[in-house]
Amino acid sequence: MVADEPTIKQLSVITGISIPVLILLLGLLLPFEGKHNKAYVDPVGVVTICIGHTATAKAGQYKTDAQCYQLLAKDLEDGTKAINNYVKVPLSNHLEAALRSFIFNVGSENFRKSTLLKKLNNTDYLGACAELEKWIKATDRNTKQVKILKGLVNRRAAERNMCEAGL
């Protein structure tokens, strides 16, 4: 389910993310987000479409593959801004991909306020990578119940492995 080479090149140009980082990032995003051309409701009640896009998703909506990758490019901008504005230390490709996946999932504001970022900017790379596995809970939009999601447990483990591979 990885994007084809022309799509990766186009995404790299639009987002400013290097091709090596983008390939690593898609390797994290696609298995966990999937690509769903038809909108669906995720495990915590959020209407989602394409590759984890929620901002404008509506029940019953359908998007083409090209539209899905356009939405992905727009959604990845949040991570670019967050990394440019908040990260003060050098990042390897693997570490950057792990952070981008994390920010894509939790948002830049949660990243900005995180212990993960504090540890990262204090050059505690291993400590920052370990922080990823703490982010495994989500609040159900309907019941307001906070739950540990198996998908988040698996995603954070993959992000941590990617993060540590870059050290």
- Rounded Cα–Cα distance for residues 148 and 108 (Å): 21
Greatest CA separation for the chain:
46
* 33 is known as an active-site residue: yes
- Rounded Cα–Cα distance for residues 9 and 28 (Å): 18
Residues 6 or more apart in contact with residue 44 via CB below 8 angstroms: 138, 139, 140, 141, 147, 149
Q: Is the C-alpha dihedral spanning 34, 25, 79, 66 positive or negative?
A: negative
Which of the following is catalytic: 33, 75, 96, 159?
33
53 bridge partner residues: 49
* 42 is known as an active-site residue: yes
Which of the following is catalytic: 4, 5, 42, 75?
42
Q: List the catalytic residues.
A: 33, 42
